[in-house]
Amino acid sequence: MRKLGVIDLGSNTTRLIVMAYEPGYSFRLTDEVSETVRLAEGIGPSRMLQPAPIRRAVEALRMFYSLCLSTGVDQVIAVGTSAIREAANQAEFWAALRSATPLDLRIISAEEEAYFGYLGAINALPLPTGALFDTGGGSTQVMAVHDRALTRSFSVQAGVVRFTEQFVQSDPINRADLRRLREAARAAFAPLDWLPDLRHGKLGGMGGTVRQLARIDQKQRNYPLERVHGYVLTREALERMIEELARRPRRERLQIPGMKEERVDVTLAGAVIIATLMDRGGFSSLLVSGQGVREGIFYQHFLADQPQPLLADPRRFSVLNLARLTHYEPEHCARVAHLSQSLFDQLAPLHGYGEWERELLGYAAILHDIGVSVGYYDHHKHGEYLIHNATLLGFSHREIVIIAGLVRNHRKGWSGPAPYAAIVTPDDETRIARLSAMLRLAEYLERSKSQIVRDVRVQIGEAITIDIVANGDAHVEIWEATRRSGLLRRSFGREVQIRPA
């Protein structure tokens, strides 16, 4: 695998990701480091970078570059955004950087920043049409998306560090400061007369502030997943957090569950910026993206042989990517997918499910054995853990819970979705049980991993009769499947008979 390091020098935070990848085939994040440098601190109307922020930024870049060299990174790409882009004294920054490290830093334009952010998010979120935004320390970029294509972008100097310094002059913030903060945010997004036209699509949010707000909301809700990417943050929840942040002094804001100390001063301004943007477009909720500018730059390299650096089907790609990284057996998994989906199609008169459930069942079939990469014993539990902690793109949290549940139940026993009641719907327990039963039966009909069982023929009467179409002696497979048919019997409320065709 090649290794690419991407450094993003932002106005508030500097971040590094290291990606190991085979072009167009698979990738994994191998390292991630962030450092709060507050490069935009004290920049003011003069647009002059201050000596202390310059020192912090240069030291972070030097450390990140050294880390890349020491860990065998093949190529390092470093970009600078709002603060350095707008600085009147760039020469001072360049002199300090070149005296400390040979790192080549490229200042990207506001349009490039929006484009890279779009690439990172559009390859990661289920957002074919709508809007994306990226709120950083110095600016916010807003992008319009139609059929996954970037159609226009907008950049404004409304960033969390910039707005905090300009409008948050009291602790806790007083009414006058809060009013000025809201007015400034409204003025910043006033030119976005095209944003309301996208309100029937989805809104996706990038940046450390939106992820911080999502973590706080998750803690307040006792949300059962640690995953921030793909989290749905409502406008109503955002307003509650604004009210709480506005009435607490700094020392009390630090006690808010999920709050990071390095963001305690700037989160209120960020929340107001994001809430105002949502109001401008008429969005009642947003999808949180864990990917942004850095990942967008990575996709340019990973998909360099394609006309556009867009994954054709992010969901399927990310499932196959996880399977490849865990050394799955393609032929075995393909046969399990075929058999389970054949059962699904023929049992449709009983379950009444559609293409969505069929798709999730197929993904679970591809991933059902990935836990073996950890260890054979309890590999169904290892697989569930890996799915909950993997980079799965384009899936909702509910879909991830369902896929993980199918993998957990593909061997034996039964583990329901009760721990994830805040995410699933009331009928998902039956849905997971029935899909798990089909996956389990398919797995044991492929017990020898030799593709002896070619297909199944289902007859539905008082009992479910399954005739096995095989290319050889399938007695072992039929015996195993019969032993493991209890979940199918219980979830459908009918006896099950499995026999040779």
SS (H, E, C) 153-221: EEEECCCHHHHHHHHCCCCCCCHHHHHHHHHHHHHHHCCCCCHHHHCCCEEEEECHHHHHHHHHHHHHH
Residue 167: per-residue pLDDT: 97
- Amino acid in the structure at residue 409: N
Based on the domain organization, do 440 and 342 belong to the same domain? Answer: yes
Residue 117 lies in a domain: no
Burial group, residue 493, by CB count within 10 angstroms (0-12, 13-18, 19+) = exposed
Residue 437 lies in a domain: yes
Beta bridge partners of 9: 14, 80
Based on the domain organization, do 197 and 271 belong to the same domain? Answer: yes
CB-CB neighbours of 422 under 10 Å: 12
| Gap between the Cα atoms of 174 and 167, Å rounded | 10
Residue with tokens 């006309």: 307
84: enclosing H helix or E strand: helix 82-86
- Amino acid in the structure at residue 314: P
Asked if residue 23 has a cis previous peptide bond (ω within 30° of 0), the answer is no
pTM for the structure as a whole: 0.95
Based on the domain organization, do 274 and 138 belong to the same domain? Answer: yes
| Gap between the Cα atoms of 126 and 123, Å rounded | 8
Domain endpoint, select from 308, 343, 365? 308
| Gap between the Cα atoms of 362 and 333, Å rounded | 9
Based on the domain organization, do 70 and 133 belong to the same domain? Answer: no
Based on the domain organization, do 300 and 281 belong to the same domain? Answer: no
| Gap between the Cα atoms of 242 and 234, Å rounded | 13
The domain in which residue 136 lies consists of 125-290
- The backbone torsions φ and ψ at residue 166, rounded to the nearest 5 degrees and listed phi first, read -80, -35
Residue 116 lies in a domain: no
Which among 315, 345, 289, 318 is positioned nearest to 460, based on CA atoms? 345
Based on the domain organization, do 436 and 372 belong to the same domain? Answer: yes
Residue 278 lies in a domain: yes
**DSSP alpha helix (H) spans, 326-354:** 330-346, 348-351
Residue 113 lies in a domain: no
Question: The domain spanning residue 399 has which CATH number?
Answer: 1.10.3210.10
Q: Which two tokens stand for residue 245?
A: 């942040």
Burial group, residue 325, by CB count within 10 angstroms (0-12, 13-18, 19+) = middle
Mean pLDDT in consecutive groups of 10 residues from the start of the chain, 501 residues: 96 96 97 95 91 96 97 97 92 95 96 97 98 96 98 97 96 97 98 97 97 98 96 98 98 97 97 98 98 97 95 98 97 98 98 98 98 95 97 97 98 94 97 98 95 97 97 95 97 97 90
Based on the domain organization, do 356 and 423 belong to the same domain? Answer: yes
> Would you say 114 and 155 are in contact if contact means Cβ atoms under 8 Å apart?
yes
Domain endpoint, select from 290, 324, 345? 290
Q: What angle do CA 212, 215, 221 make, to 5 degrees?
A: 145
Residue 446: per-residue pLDDT: 96
Based on the domain organization, do 323 and 469 belong to the same domain? Answer: yes
Based on the domain organization, do 332 and 299 belong to the same domain? Answer: no
Question: The domain spanning residue 252 has which CATH number?
Answer: 3.30.420.150
| Gap between the Cα atoms of 50 and 41, Å rounded | 7
- The backbone torsions φ and ψ at residue 132, rounded to the nearest 5 degrees and listed phi first, read -125, 150
Residue 201 lies in a domain: yes
Residue 43: per-residue pLDDT: 87
Residue 340 lies in a domain: yes
Q: What is the DSSP string of 441-492?
A: HHHHHTTTSS--EEEEEEEESSEEEEEEEESS--HHHHHHHHHT-HHHHHHH
Cα pseudo-dihedral 294, 298, 303, 309, rounded to 10: 20
- The backbone torsions φ and ψ at residue 234, rounded to the nearest 5 degrees and listed phi first, read -90, 155
> Would you say 416 and 434 are in contact if contact means Cβ atoms under 8 Å apart?
no
Burial group, residue 100, by CB count within 10 angstroms (0-12, 13-18, 19+) = middle
Rg of the chain over all Cα atoms, to the nearest angstrom? 26
Q: Which two tokens stand for residue 491?
A: 């979830």
Domain endpoint, select from 277, 308, 339? 308
Residue 120 lies in a domain: no
Question: The domain spanning residue 6 has which CATH number?
Answer: 3.30.420.40
E strand spans, 274-421: 285-288
Based on the domain organization, do 359 and 283 belong to the same domain? Answer: no
Residue with tokens 């004294």: 89
Based on the domain organization, do 183 and 39 belong to the same domain? Answer: no
| Gap between the Cα atoms of 294 and 308, Å rounded | 17
Domain count, the chain: 3
Rounded to an integer, what is the distance from CA 158 to the centroid of its chain?
25
Q: Which two tokens stand for residue 325?
A: 């990284």
- Tell me the three state secondary structure of residue 22: strand
CB-CB neighbours of 445 under 10 Å: 28
Based on the domain organization, do 170 and 79 belong to the same domain? Answer: no
Beta bridge partners of 33: 16
